[in-house]
Amino acid sequence: MIDVPSIFGIDVFNEQVMKERLPKDIYEALKATIKNGESLDITVANCVAEAMKEWAIEKGCTHYTHWFQPMTGITAEKHDSFLTPCDNGKVIMEFSGKELTKGESDASSFPNGGIRATFEARGYTAWDPTSYAFIKDSSLYIPTAFMSYTGEVLDKKTPLLRSMDRVSEEAVRILKLFGKDDVTRVTANVGAEQEYFLIDRKMYEKRKDLKYTGRTLFGARATKGQELEDHYFGAIKSRVSDFMKELDEQLWKLGIYSKTKHNEVAPSQHELAPIFTTTNIATDQNQLTMETMKTIARKHGMSCLLHEKPFADVNGSGKHNNWSLSTNTGENLLKPGKKPEENTQFLLFLAAVIKAVDEHQDLLRISVATAGNDHRLGSSEAPPAIISMYLGDDLEAIVDAIINHEDYETHGGVLMKTGVESMPDFKKDTSDRNRTSPFAFTGNKFEFRSLGSSISISCPNIMLNTIVADALSQFADELENAEDFKSACRRLIRRTFKNHKRIIFNGDGYTDEWVQEAKRRGLLNLRNTPEALKHFVDKHNIELFERNRIYGEKEVRARYEILLENYSKVIAIEAQTMINMAKKDIFPAVSKFTGELAQTIVSKKAVSSAIPTDAEEKLLTRMSELLNKFAVLTSELEEKLALAKNYKDNPLTLAEYYRDYVLTVMGKLRVVGDNMETDMSTEHWPYPSYGDMLYSVQ
């Protein structure tokens, strides 16, 4: 029996630990930094460092690391011990405020988009006091930002913190117009639901494609997939349950609010959902959650797959980003209240989000654009590539009423009658859930559903915070100069709803009709990563980031190049892996199978010409034809891959080449390979099948 309250956060240097171990004035100074973003004095840093070191050593730590998030999308760490030599040949354990607040790493060895040359190596890590330090594997982990020697941002945390400051700054301006002078900070909060697959480790080790790329590059459809819909919310298997229990316990110790766990739609697919927290902490904790999932899965003889589409023909994995805004006085700014049509403050913030999403569809799409997510977006498990907003019938009716100068009367929740005497009736929600919507209002928050499962949630939230801050800034500029605030506010809300209503869509996003309707409305349909990323460096986007002090133009262009290069590298690795599997494993296996089949035919005919061999001969002919086609396509893939070097000087052209030519041949090669797997005996096929993998964990 786990005593959750007693273990929750025991490996975190959180407020409770700070309060116990820091002098009152130091604690109050640090708390002000965490709550209100105030700067931190070196005297405070020295005191915090000493307390942090003593706490960590008591818990068995010998090292500390500045834990940061470079533009690889994963985390990075370099460990240093607390050891300091003495004159007598002994050592003491020391940790200073300078060591806490500043570290150094090789900035040229991480993706930098040309910001740093190879010989210009120096880069810095800087402590982020708004995200708690924690203990893992006998080291003290200190969340930090990462920047170059010349000051350009090389990580995902720094721009996220900047975006949080910007949305707070502009939201506070708006709230002061409503007379809320006690509000000094508005926080963007996030809860990131995480989907993942678990398969047996022995199966994983036999699949080169899973080991090198995270997804299966070959694999015939399993006899049973998700057709019966019997896995979703089904009973959790014992091995998975044991994994989930240990995962929860470890996450709770790290102060992560792991709340919900269940089976997802596809076999072997599952989901973990936390309680929301500040966006910065939520981002750190989601990265930590993914790392912990992989570690604990290995302990239980399994592999955790976080790729967006590890298996064809079953659902891929996403990550739902539940985003909201709240004040330091405890008010949720996206809560409609009982009469949202009369809640001017809510309607103004709603208008800002609608305006932001409509004007910056491209940036939201860019924030989730990866080679892996391209396999998932738009199919029956994920929202389409077209960005739209779902408000629900009631809220959309309010928007329409405001646009048309009509009265709106809230009807209240409809009573849902169970028809069972022993069960209570209850009121249903005022809006349904639309699983096909990329950006859906869900009561008191927005759920951005387009994220892929392996992605860092930092970039989507940088975009969200920035575009909403920009809209609020424009609103504040207009309303602060208004003679009659209430009238000006109503006019602004109505004008915004009218000008941006095209982004609101409550229907089925999977239909061909919606694609045509979206085109008629002028909405973007950025179907793949290169198509989306080329808009990153559009003039209006660079200007947006510059005026909101998130990125300079050089930093935007660096990220543009990094994302394109990553896309091309991912596909290149997949293609190389596919060629390796085709030439070294699949071709020899099928050749051996056809050889044995031919020998069987010869042996039967040698016994008696009366023995029928029609079935074997037909199979032999089919397999030989497929094998020949397979060899031709393998050679073609090698040729296409070799030609990619001709486009290396232009990241966009190179990415488009990989999309149009390399991926196309990979798709054709896979079809032939999967057809051969279907017709071959299991003992001859060199890899575990989809059925083996998807049903390997009991």
Q: pLDDT band for position 83 (50/70/90)?
A: confident
Give the count of beta carbons closer than 10 Å to the beta carbon of residue 421: 5
User: What would the pLDDT profile of 136-153 be if each residue is shown by its tens digit?
Assistant: 999 999 999 887 766 788
pLDDT at position 188 over 90: yes
What average pLDDT does the segment 421-438 reach?
58
Query: What CA–CA distance (Å, rounded) separates 198 from 205?
Result: 13
pLDDT at position 62 over 70: yes
Q: Of 154, 181, 203, which one is at a domain's C-terminal end?
A: 154
Instruction: Provide the CATH number for the domain around residue 628.
Output: 1.20.120.1560
Whether 174 and 128 map to the same domain: the answer is no
Whether 106 and 39 map to the same domain: the answer is yes
User: What would the pLDDT profile of 346-390 be if each residue is shown by its tens digit?
Assistant: 999 999 999 999 999 999 999 999 999 999 986 656 889 999 999
pLDDT of residue 416: 45
pLDDT at position 429 over 60: no
pLDDT of residue 426: 42
What average pLDDT does the segment 331-341 reach?
91
Q: What tokens were used for 208?
A: 């080169």
Contact 285, 42 (CB under 8 A): no
Asked which of 91-105, 109-123, 372-386 is least confident by mean pLDDT, the reply is 109-123
Whether 168 and 124 map to the same domain: the answer is no
Give the count of beta carbons closer than 10 Å to the beta carbon of residue 114: 10
Q: What is the DSSP letter of 102?
A: E
H/E run at residue 156: none
Whether 150 and 167 map to the same domain: the answer is no
Residue 140 lies in a domain: yes
User: For residue 5, which of 252, 210, 220, 305 has the smallest C-alpha distance?
Assistant: 252
Whether 251 and 378 map to the same domain: the answer is yes
User: What would the pLDDT profile of 229-284 be if each residue is shown by its tens digit?
Assistant: 666 767 788 999 999 999 999 999 999 999 998 888 889 999 999 999 999 999 99
Q: Of 132, 154, 176, which one is at a domain's C-terminal end?
A: 154
Q: What tokens were used for 625?
A: 């034809």
Whether 8 and 144 map to the same domain: the answer is yes
Q: pLDDT band for position 411 (50/70/90)?
A: low
Give the count of beta carbons closer than 10 Å to the beta carbon of residue 555: 23
Cα-Cα-Cα-Cα dihedral sign, residues 169, 175, 181, 182: negative
Residue 522 lies in a domain: yes
pLDDT of residue 358: 98
Instruction: Provide the CATH number for the domain around residue 33.
Output: 3.10.20.70
Whether 148 and 173 map to the same domain: the answer is no
- Burial class of 419 by CB neighbour count within 10 A (0 to 12, 13 to 18, 19+): exposed
User: In terms of residue numbers, what domain contains 76?
Assistant: 4-154
pLDDT of residue 421: 54
Give the chain's count of helices (H) and strands (E): 24, 19
Query: What CA–CA distance (Å, rounded) separates 87 from 238?
Result: 57
Instruction: Provide the CATH number for the domain around residue 182.
Output: 3.30.590.10
Residue 652 lies in a domain: yes
Q: What is the mean pLDDT of the chain?
A: 90
What average pLDDT does the segment 588-595 reach?
96
Those residues whose C-beta lies under 8 Å from the C-beta of residue 695, and which sit 6 or more positions away, are: 222, 267, 268
Q: Give buried/exposed letters for 429-455 (b at 16+ CB in 10 A, else e).
A: ebbeebebbbbbbbbebbbbbbbbbbb
Whether 607 and 531 map to the same domain: the answer is no
Write out 190-215 in H/E/C secondary structure.
EEEEEEEEEEEHHHHHCCHHHHHHCC
Query: What CA–CA distance (Å, rounded) separates 680 from 660?
Result: 31
pLDDT at position 310 over 90: yes
Residue 492 lies in a domain: yes
Q: At what angle do helices 458-479 and 157-177 cross, to 10 degrees?
A: 30
pLDDT of residue 545: 98
The length of the chain is 698
Contact 416, 425 (CB under 8 A): yes
Main-chain phi, psi angles of 5, to 5 degrees: -60, -35
User: What would the pLDDT profile of 5-45 be if each residue is shown by its tens digit?
Assistant: 999 999 999 999 999 999 999 998 888 877 766 667 788 88
Q: Comparing 674 with 510, which gets the higher pLDDT?
A: 674
Query: What CA–CA distance (Å, rounded) separates 366 from 363?
Result: 5
**Alpha helix positions (H), 522-646:** 529-533, 539-547, 553-581, 587-607, 614-643
Whether 146 and 170 map to the same domain: the answer is no
DSSP 670-695: HHHHHHHHHHS-TTTSSS--HHHHHT
What average pLDDT does the segment 672-691 reach?
95
Contact 113, 558 (CB under 8 A): yes
Query: What CA–CA distance (Å, rounded) separates 433 from 390?
Result: 9
pLDDT at position 77 over 90: no
pLDDT of residue 693: 95
Whether 325 and 462 map to the same domain: the answer is yes
Whether 641 and 672 map to the same domain: the answer is yes
Specify the residue for token string 């609010």: 257
Hey, what amino acid is at 382? A
Specify the residue for token string 């405001």: 402
Main-chain phi, psi angles of 441, to 5 degrees: -80, 130
User: What would the pLDDT profile of 631-669 be if each residue is shown by its tens digit?
Assistant: 999 999 999 999 999 999 999 999 999 999 999 999 999
pLDDT of residue 418: 44
Whether 594 and 640 map to the same domain: the answer is yes
Residue 560 lies in a domain: no
Q: Comparing 48 with 428, which gets the higher pLDDT?
A: 48
Residue 327 lies in a domain: yes
Whether the predicted model's global pTM rises above the 0.95 cut: no
Specify the residue for token string 């940061």: 68
If one counts the domains in the chain, the total is 3
Query: What CA–CA distance (Å, rounded) separates 394 from 390?
Result: 11
pLDDT of residue 609: 77
pLDDT at position 414 over 60: no
Residue 556 lies in a domain: no
| Rounded CA Rg of the chain | 28
Query: What CA–CA distance (Å, rounded) separates 47 from 26?
Result: 7
Residue 561 lies in a domain: no
Query: What CA–CA distance (Å, rounded) separates 488 from 499?
Result: 16
What average pLDDT does the segment 598-622 reach?
88
Q: Of 154, 179, 203, which one is at a domain's C-terminal end?
A: 154
